[in-house]
Amino acid sequence: MILAIETATDVCGAALVHEGRVIAERSTVEKKIHSEKLLPMIDELLRSASMSLSRLDAVAVSIGPGSFTGLRIGLSTAKGLAVARSLPIVPVPTLDAMAFEYFRSGGAREGETACPLIDAKRDEAYFCFYAVNAGGVTRKSPYEIAGILKISEAARSFGAVAFFGDGIAKMDAAGRSNGAFRIVQGAVCSAASVGIVAEHGGEMLAAGEYTMLEPMYIRDFVATQPGVKRQQKIQRIPVEFSQTTQSSKD
């Protein structure tokens, strides 16, 4: 059983995931409420599922990129809960969780490229390109931050691209979309997808390993990241998700 946390975006959410199934989930979409809402939300989630921390196998957390403050809140909460019960932590790249949530929601089209966008302020967004197929999504590019024009130009090499996330307003407003690009409204990150990705493709870090774990910020002027070797290990997403996805919706 994994307790998953999402605070990297405007979504403040928590979910319980077990063997590909979402046992329970709570979330709200609102800016600057994560520090106030997260712990009560987790407490209510556990009580509603008659679950205690002692029955958890790990805590998964959306590790970034995203809101600097939100990432700190999520990771510090994950560490506090994990330390209390000597649980491992599974850091999940936020863009991976967003891409899988897009696939899991049923809105993805076979053969298209998915590109989650997270607002990075100014004219920039965090982004990554993913191939979509019947089995799930596969990462095709590095996690990056760039201006909307550069993202639009990079997308041209991927053919049909679906953009989603809170950064799409910039793409739409800039008029960069064309016939090959699709703007998808309402697709956001979820704690449930953080948990499923963690369960099937994440790396569980023991207490000694996650003591110095930091959010993955990506901005050049912020050097703090999970570490080169660690980052290489967690920057992946599993592809065999079709059966798991179906069962999670039952």
Counting the structural domains of the chain, the total is: 2
Q: Which of 128-137, 152-161, 240-249 has the lowest mean pLDDT?
A: 240-249
Q: Select the highest-mean-pLDDT range: 89-93, 171-175, 220-224.
A: 89-93
* Residue 238 pLDDT greater than 50, yes or no: no
| 47 lies in the same domain as 118 | no
| 162 lies in the same domain as 232 | no
| 88 lies in the same domain as 211 | yes
* Residue 235 pLDDT greater than 70, yes or no: no
Domain boundary residue, one of 136, 154, 183? 183
| 73 lies in the same domain as 89 | yes
Q: Which carries the bigger pLDDT value, residue 187 or residue 226? A: 187
Question: What is the CATH classification number for the domain harbouring 121?
Answer: 3.30.420.200
**Pick from 18, 39, 26, 165: which is nearest to 102 by CA?**
165
Question: If you compute the radius of gyration of the chain from its CA atoms, what whole number of angstroms results?
Answer: 17
| 150 lies in the same domain as 212 | no
Structural domain for 156, as ranges: 99-183
| 198 lies in the same domain as 171 | no
Domain boundary residue, one of 168, 183, 198? 183
* Residue 242 pLDDT greater than 70, yes or no: no
Domain boundary residue, one of 135, 152, 183? 183
Per residue in 106-148, pLDDT (tens digit) is 888 888 999 999 999 988 999 999 999 888 899 999 999 999 9
